[in-house]
Amino acid sequence: MSPGGRVEIGTPARRYLSGTFAELCRIESPSGSERACGERVMAELRALGIETLEDDAGRLTGSDCGNLLARLPAAAATDAGGGPPAVMFCAHLDTVPPQAPVEPVLSEGVWENANEGILGADNKAAVVVLLALARTLHAEGSPVELELLFTVGEERSLAGASVFDVDRLNSHVGFVFDHASEIGEVIERSPSHFRLEAHFRGASAHAGIRPEDGRSAIVGACRAIAALPVGRVDEQTTINVASISGGGAINVVPDACSFTGEVRSLDQERAERLVGQAVERIHDAAHLPDCDVDVDVSVEQTFAGYRQPPGGRAIAVAEAALRQCGREPRRIASGGGSDINALIAAGLDCVNLANGTRRPHEPGESVADEALAEMLEVALALVEQSAALEPSNSR
């Protein structure tokens, strides 16, 4: 690295990024089944002689793999006394369930799935960048102690990050590449998130002989869903119904049905008010005369929102690094959560950065090959800018 200047990502690093990214994407790793992807990551790090530890997040979250924490020591001590500063980078191993087999193809410089399903760039684009970062710093020497955290269950309400013990870290600051937008964007705000579950109980009856004696739980659930303002409620708030299940034989009035949904908002109080209104509407709809079923509704806040504080170290380092790479930082608010929500709630100063991916969680998800190289350039600049932080013994 040339201090204070842009880092040229050479051909060998670009080939590594492209080849390893495609390989990682082919390893399907929906939440709960991250082991194969985790083993591949650990194999890469072991080849560099980098120690990797696994915690018990698998047992706690129902995954077949725990969170992985790898450390690369700094090349030399600082002049300020104590050890060099420590810096954490985080990416998640899991994806949403693939709708089709993942076969990455590169077309006109853009990676996509050849089949009609997700690619897995969320978040394997970041995973491969962290591996390439470790390779580069292992070869050239790192001015900081590098900590790499690979989490599980991010797509299930940040499950792995939520149970990770941040006291295991030496890092002063942390960085996450987990926002599907143009590189250069810095996520300043992220929403609070609530999970809703509604369980409806009616009465079964023969649908052809005495349907009037039945009370359809499915009708109750559908009335309740129709009463909710599903979609974008306002600029800061959304409501979604994600799944519904119930019923059985075609000739039986269904006596059970349930659905799950979410409320998320950049405004915590707004989210809480909407959750309360949603619960009221669900109960009111279930007791309409034409369905009149019993309903139980449970609510869980799965993660808290955040707003980056003025003068935060992580966001200052991030913006300096982006400028070093020739990109003017742009602070944005996001409607999505990421591991950073859990890490900030646990007390770590960290920031989420855009990674250049597009259409996450959808068929047609993609990332430009050049974006992988740009992310690595930003990561190297983050390391360089972090080297000026206080030594690690003062965390």
On whether both 135 and 185 belong to a single domain, the answer is: yes
Instruction: Give tens-digit pLDDT for 140-158.
Output: 999 999 999 999 999 999 9
pLDDT of residue 393: 47
Range of the domain at 264: 192-303
Mean pLDDT of 72-86: 74
| CB-based burial label for 242 (10 Å; 0-12, 13-18, 19+) | exposed
Does residue 47 register a pLDDT over 90?
A: yes
**362 within domain boundaries:** yes
Mean pLDDT of 29-53: 97
**2 within domain boundaries:** no
On whether both 112 and 260 belong to a single domain, the answer is: no
Does residue 238 register a pLDDT over 80?
A: yes
On whether both 262 and 286 belong to a single domain, the answer is: yes
On whether both 52 and 146 belong to a single domain, the answer is: yes
Does residue 6 register a pLDDT over 80?
A: no
pLDDT of residue 201: 96
Count: domains in the chain: 2
Does residue 170 register a pLDDT over 60?
A: yes
pLDDT of residue 81: 54
Q: Based on C-alpha coordinates, what's the Rg of the chain? A: 24
CB 337, CB 303: distance < 8 Å: yes
| CB-based burial label for 229 (10 Å; 0-12, 13-18, 19+) | middle
**17 within domain boundaries:** yes
Mean pLDDT of 42-50: 96
pLDDT of residue 75: 87
CA distance 148 to 72: 8
